[in-house]
Amino acid sequence: MSNTLRNEILSRFLRYAAIDTMSDDQAVAVKHPSTDGQWDLLNLLVDELKSLGINDIQVDANGVVIARLPSNIEHTVPTVAFMAHVDTADDVMGNNVKPRVIEAYDGKDIVLNEQFTLIAGENPELSKYVGETIIVTDGNTLLGSDDKAGVAEIMSAAAFLVAHPEVKHGVVEFIFTSDEETGAGMNTFPYDKISCDYCYTIDGGK
């Protein structure tokens, strides 16, 4: 991955992480998205997609954004979609997130604040990222990389494809959903509004 693309993904993630999108599993039965903050991020994504020059965008009333990048090749190939959710879990406070970037992680314990420390010995996954850039919180909230990391990756990919027409592709759809963490994220999904043959959810581990 180029440094330019890496820096764009990081910049987008930090910007998105600061937006309060914690979902509410109690409210989702009567309101979808369950929290207004999810609309804040969804609307921002719509604005950013438009600024890229992507104008085929549908915004569903239940908090789903579907954007479509036209094919730049003459023959027909399958349509591929990439999907991520904008909400963060409410198990632990996820609002007022203050991300901290650690460059060239040294493999040692990470002090988040006076109360909480990430103990390297208790978190063996950390050893896989020695020398790399990692992002943590101030210890008071979730970070929200589930799934704003996916959102940042998809948006950066969209920007890359627009900026590099020499990369040939068929129709690509970018899909952003809400309330995944409540378990109700797909309950009202507008399947009739997508055209993809294959859809990849960008959410999870490495």
60 catalytically annotated: no
Query: Which of 40, 8, 17 is CA-nearest to residue 99?
Result: 17
Catalytic residue check, 48: no
Mode of pairing for the β-strands spanning 80-85 and 198-201: parallel
**Pseudo-torsion of CA 182, 12, 77, 189, nearest 10°?**
20
Smallest Cα–Cα separation from 143: which of 106, 96, 110? 96
Catalytic residue among 8, 87, 90, 153: 87
Residue from 24, 90, 173, 180 carrying the catalytic annotation: 180
> In sequence order, which residues have a C-beta less than 8 Å from that of residue 118 and are 6 or more positions away?
109, 110, 112, 126, 136
Residues serving a catalytic function are: 87, 180
